Structure 1
């Protein structure tokens, strides 16, 4: 274990956090809020720790998968604890466990909240909640790879550990350039959405916070009714951009490189769009009589499908009041998730494609046992290592999911609430059904259950293994 490089990376995480808190501090100054001193205190604290940890550069900057996974997991834990400090110091969320839950929900782009009334919060705190979505969407370590002078192929271990999906590939030979391209696309799409929302007469502060939530597919609302009070135009724009941020960013890169045919051949993106279209049509059929017109029903159906499958969590209506079939479809979409290489959570469409094709392969193998068949994705053979990793991930996923439901059942809440609470946090979605539906919140749970759900959010965002590896004794041995 190369402890020096991990210490150095964690130091830059503290520096990054200090820099990030400058922005809500500026918001506090603009609105004349006393919370500016809370953010200044946090900035100084993080800055001092970061300076001390990065003062001595490591002599050995080489690390492998083990160090990469540990660095990523510890980085997100540090971000969560330090990011909770403004909530605690300002008194907005005085309970430590609740404050960490809210912060983890922000950075992991989950959007679940323990708050029952967000409109009473200061502007700077509201901004910080939403800004954590944007920071966590593309990944903090990906950002550091873009600015830190770290050379060597080992950087790929950091990107693989933090980026969602069964596989991560370099867009260009250099990791640093890949990180710059990803963030360039991310920032460009963010700016475009802000402009479109401003065209729809949305206040600048609202446009910024809404875009942070949809870009990071997080979903922290700054209104108690989430997106319900905004105009249909704003709802449609947000719904479209949630869907766009759920697409694998490699597709956008191919379009930028003027390779549209190759981009359109992306099988995962086609499945993703197909699932959204089919789900939207099906739900519209069942809820048209509720809203009185096909147009209104279609808008609400598309928005909620886009919100749930991308694991954003915004809501334009209380979908918990919809008939059973639409509600079941939304719960199923919670598990599907967005595309690999996007800012969305969930199992990921590519994993489901591989699983479906694996079942088909096994059935054909039974009928034709002597035939040698390979699973293909985008016209390329999927390596056995990838298929194995998908299978192992699914086993770990369902074991953790079932155990989490069991643990929070100690609070004696109903099964629908418990099941969808875990689904909403583990898949980084936000709202569930029952007591944690669009009009409810996660403040109903005890500190123990809140801690379980907090761990679920981290495990879901980091795709389980970076967090689990912290608990293995061999991880910390020097070889």
Structure 2
């Protein structure tokens, strides 16, 4: 039996939290005199009042949350966040068309970074900050945040954490899930503030530094400028983005251990080593290709190559150049990056390195098993044996991910878009990246899609952000059986 009242109570808490998180946008609107403060106040009031009604109406109900309730809360809360999160856009008139508002809001909360806005710089300060806040909120997961700061809910948070955690595993820093969430958010907030400071020291205005600090650590990629990071020419800013994008793509558990000085444990992670080595090798290759294809200083070619590689692999989506203009071969390589994703337990989207690593290791060991059929050849990650159940889960994930990409591309092609654009739009939406190839390249946006196209891509963003199964399991008849 599903405890719907406990789910509604939790949803009420999330809505109140969402309203409270609009406060920084209201403050910035007042400070800069952008004239959108009343719109934001109204939106916050609607969120808090409706959330309070749900939260306090079911205060005395049984609040034991099991796996099914956890998945329902996570899936439904993102739908609620999209509905209430787009109110500032609609009420202010910044985005007046409903499918556009849904797309921009979902793109924000899923940290995809795709946009339908043709002129970002005309938006008022409060709306711009809220746009960045949607990515920051979605970065590590609003469910984890809620479990950390709403102990008064009295709800066991482990099921929510498992359903929301952006990866196939959820390493714990502390036996109690609420303490784990607090530590993760301490790292998240601390790095966000540090990124803001570094951007400011690099020459960004205070407003730009705050916005880009929020979206960098969220690996979201929303910018306050139409040209994204290409607007800023100071190498300090680009290298700051490179460093913090890489950190944001690292498992936050490892970051916590790193800050505690336990560096051996960080480097002992097979996934972190694979992530780091891959970034170094591919960046070197791209740097060499750019240097020989374009005329210019060697440092600029190095920075440009490194920036594009880390931005796409971590699914941040910032751009400093049009990578589709280099050559067809490099365009294909950059397209492949849309299927990488960084580390599990990070704020990045995509497939994640741990799944790629498991797949590659298992495939390599399969040759040994063929030659020695009687031998027991276990697959190990971080020195520990990976069970057959986990391998099967990862293989199923990869297969379903590929199937959704193929079917999604067919749907977009049937809807009237060319094959390259369809491939790019589906891959970047499912991987929560932002820019892609075709007519959704780094210098383009998603404004030209039909209402159906925008809503379909929004659905793919949610699928990718919630690791496929969290959404797809709701469509399974097994989920709804009472026994």
Calculate the TM-score normalised by the size of structure 1: 0.97
Alpha-carbon distance in structure 1 between the residues aligned to 2:51 and 2:479 = 24
Report how far residue 158 of structure 1 moved: 0.6
Post-superposition Cα deviations, 1:243-287, rounded to whole Å, max 9, x if no partner, equal 111011121222244322122111111111111111111111111
Q: Which stretches in structure 1 are left out of the alignment for 5+ residues? A: none
Following TM superposition, the consecutive aligned residue runs of length 4 or more in structure 1 with deviations greater than 6 angstroms are 150-153
Bigger mean CA deviation after superposition, 192-201 or 99-108:
192-201
Residues 1:255 and 2:267 aligned together: no
Give the equivalent residue in structure 2 for 1:11: 12
Report how far residue 474 of structure 1 moved: 4.7
Residues 1:27 and 2:28 aligned together: yes
Equivalent pair of 1:286/1:323 in contact (CA under 8 Å): no
Give the equivalent residue in structure 2 for 1:438: 442
Give the equivalent residue in structure 2 for 1:213: 215
Equivalent pair of 1:312/1:429 in contact (CA under 8 Å): yes
162, 170, 173: which one pairs with 1:171? 173
Report how far residue 395 of structure 1 moved: 1.8
Residues 1:90 and 2:92 aligned together: yes
Give the equivalent residue in structure 1 for 2:468: 464
Alpha-carbon distance in structure 1 between the residues aligned to 2:329 and 2:286 = 8
**RMSD of aligned residue pairs (Cα, Å):** 1.5
Equivalent pair of 1:287/1:323 in contact (CA under 8 Å): no
Give the equivalent residue in structure 2 for 1:316: 320
Give the equivalent residue in structure 2 for 1:280: 283
* Equivalent residues in 2 for 1:315-334, closer than 5 Å: 315-334=319-338
Equivalent pair of 1:310/1:344 in contact (CA under 8 Å): yes
Post-superposition Cα deviations, 1:285-339, rounded to whole Å, max 9, x if no partner, equal 1111414222111100011111000000000111121112322222111101110
* Equivalent residues in 2 for 1:47-446, closer than 5 Å: 47-55=48-56, 56-149=58-151, 154-230=156-232, 231-289=234-292, 290-446=294-450
Report how far residue 411 of structure 1 moved: 3.4
Q: In structure 2, do the counterparts of structure 1 residues 45 and 478 end up closer, same or farther at CA, with 3 Å as the change threshold? A: farther
Report how far residue 154 of structure 1 moved: 4.7
Alpha-carbon distance in structure 2 between the residues aligned to 1:37 and 1:471 = 40
Post-superposition Cα deviations, 1:409-434, rounded to whole Å, max 9, x if no partner, equal 13322211110111111100001112
Q: In structure 2, do the counterparts of structure 1 residues 40 and 441 end up closer, same or farther at CA, with 3 Å as the change threshold? A: same
Alpha-carbon distance in structure 2 between the residues aligned to 1:133 and 1:419 = 24
Q: Secondary structure at the match of 1:440?
A: coil
Alpha-carbon distance in structure 2 between the residues aligned to 1:150 and 1:369 = 56
Report how far residue 476 of structure 1 moved: 4.3
Alpha-carbon distance in structure 2 between the residues aligned to 1:256 and 1:439 = 37
Alpha-carbon distance in structure 2 between the residues aligned to 1:170 and 1:151 = 21
Bigger mean CA deviation after superposition, 72-81 or 289-298:
289-298
Bigger mean CA deviation after superposition, 68-77 or 23-32:
23-32
Q: Secondary structure at the match of 1:228?
A: helix
Equivalent pair of 1:167/1:386 in contact (CA under 8 Å): no
431, 456, 463: which one pairs with 1:452? 456
Equivalent pair of 1:70/1:469 in contact (CA under 8 Å): no
Post-superposition Cα deviations, 1:90-144, rounded to whole Å, max 9, x if no partner, equal 1111111110110010011000001111111111111111111111101100001
Bigger mean CA deviation after superposition, 221-230 or 320-329:
320-329
Give the equivalent residue in structure 2 for 1:2: 3
Q: In structure 2, do the counterparts of structure 1 residues 335 and 58 end up closer, same or farther at CA, with 3 Å as the change threshold? A: farther
Q: Secondary structure at the match of 2:339?
A: helix
Number of positions where the alignment pairs a residue of Structure 1 with one of Structure 2: 479
Equivalent pair of 2:258/2:266 in contact (CA under 8 Å): yes
Q: Which stretches in structure 2 are left out of the alignment for 5+ residues? A: none
Report how far residue 198 of structure 1 moved: 1.4
Alpha-carbon distance in structure 2 between the residues aligned to 1:386 and 1:150 = 34
Equivalent pair of 1:282/1:326 in contact (CA under 8 Å): no
Calculate the TM-score normalised by the size of structure 2: 0.96
Equivalent pair of 1:308/1:333 in contact (CA under 8 Å): yes
Q: In structure 2, do the counterparts of structure 1 residues 351 and 150 end up closer, same or farther at CA, with 3 Å as the change threshold? A: farther
Q: In structure 2, do the counterparts of structure 1 residues 188 and 74 end up closer, same or farther at CA, with 3 Å as the change threshold? A: same
